[in-house]
Amino acid sequence: MLVTRPTGRTIEEAGASIRAGQLVAFPTETVYGLGADSTNARAVAEIFAAKGRPAFNPLIVHVASLEQAATLAELTTTAQSLGAAFWPGPLTLVARRRAGSPIADLVTAGLDTVALRVPAHTIALALLRAAGVPIAAPSANRSGHVSPTRAEHVAADLGDRVSMILDGGACEHGLESTVLDVTGDGGGVRLLRLGAVTAEAIEALIGAKLVRATGVGHSASGDGLPVSPGQLLNHYAPRARVRLNVESPVPGEALLAFGSPVPAHDGAMLNLSPAADLVEAAANLYSGLRALDDTGATSIAVMPIPHIGLGEAINDRLARAAVGRLPERS
């Protein structure tokens, strides 16, 4: 079976597949990952081929512990305290690669930094132990598609490219990890991607304001390069047109609702969180966008989402969905 129920035996098999250079999709607490042995450049190349992803996009390396992360990258004191506070969990740290690190250059897209994260999901951790190698894994969707939060999403996008999909049900957060650049010598931390850990939680730990290198667009340095290549505009694009902050949908438009009451509508409707809970809304975001897109609607109206806490990351993803679109339905 391609979509596999995780048991001790199937997780061992999945670990062996990773070691043999194959791709295994697995659940994390954020979204499903498309995993390969990060020390095997050929296997990593298969990730790019399967996703159809621009080759300059570096991948996150998943490890089992902070100790293992420290063998791969030089972690500053600040980086270590962030790891100690938020790992295992939905935080990714971009740090300087150690000389002689076994991570394939293709993983880091030739950069002298590497993105590391210890996932909290028990199946992800069990797979890391079974594989015995750090696992490079971007979200398990085709490039430009919405990130997968269920095994069925992975099967729909990449079913013909993976050796196995470990089915862990729906992902808890439904939003990718927060990415921080912790290469700064002075302990400075830059926010590269908004995600499941809020900026407020990080600022509370480091006792300083985060420098935000995010937003829809390009780096403030004016070099024309995306700050974090995952910030490409078309990263989260459904086929339908996406309209944001809509109070009243137009006839025939699908509605992605938030809170109650829901305005009058005659198209398909899904509510991210009837109780207006941002954590619940984040967990439902991608599956909701995907389900409404799958109805064939040409336009999806999204109700306003408050720009606080996780709402900031949700609005970031929605802004990308609104500007970056796949080719129109014919």
Residues that bind ligand TXA (CB under 6 A): 28, 30-31, 33, 57-60, 90, 92, 94, 108, 111, 113-115, 117, 137-139, 176-177, 179, 192-193, 228-230
Write each residue from 88 to 127 as x if it is in contact with Mg ion (CB under 5 A), else as -, in one continuous string. Answer: ----------------------------------------
How far apart are alpha carbons 27 and 167 in whole angstroms? 7
Q: What are phi and psi of 260, to 5 degrees?
A: -140, 150
Look at the block and give the residue holding tokens 């398909």. 268
- Closest distance of CB 14 from Mg ion, Å: 21
What number of other Cβ atoms are within 10 A of residue 287's Cβ?
A: 21
Structure tokens at 243: 């309209």
Q: According to the binding rule CB under 5 A, does residue 143 interact with Mg ion?
A: no
96 binds, among ligand TXA, Mg ion, none (CB under 5 to 8 A by kind): none
- Closest distance of CB 49 from Mg ion, Å: 16
Exactly one of 78, 108, 113, 139 binds Mg ion (CB under 5 A); that residue is 139
149 binds, among ligand TXA, Mg ion, none (CB under 5 to 8 A by kind): none
- Closest distance of CB 314 from Mg ion, Å: 15
C-alpha distances (whole Å) from 51 to each of 36, 55, 73, 122, 154 are 13, 10, 26, 25, 11
How far apart are alpha carbons 326 and 330 in whole angstroms? 12
- Closest distance of CB 202 from ligand TXA, Å: 15
Looking at the Cβ atoms of 138 and 168, the one nearer to ligand TXA is 138
What's the chain's length in residues? 330
How far apart are alpha carbons 247 and 163 in whole angstroms? 44
148 binds, among Mg ion, ligand TXA, none (CB under 5 to 8 A by kind): none
Stretch that binds Mg ion, among 2-10, 74-82, 95-103, 131-139 (CB under 5 A): 131-139
30 binds, among Mg ion, ligand TXA, none (CB under 5 to 8 A by kind): ligand TXA
- Closest distance of CB 241 from ligand TXA, Å: 24
Antiparallel, parallel or unpaired: β 269-271 and 254-257? parallel
How far apart are alpha carbons 55 and 314 in whole angstroms? 26
> Which residues are within 8 A (CB) of 67 and not within 5 positions of it... i.e. 6 or more apart?
none
Cβ-closest residue to ligand TXA? 230
- Alpha helices of 41-101 — where are they, by DSSP H? 41-51, 66-72, 77-86
Looking at the Cβ atoms of 75 and 171, the one nearer to Mg ion is 171
How far apart are alpha carbons 117 and 195 in whole angstroms? 13
- Interface residues with Mg ion (CB under 5 A)? 139
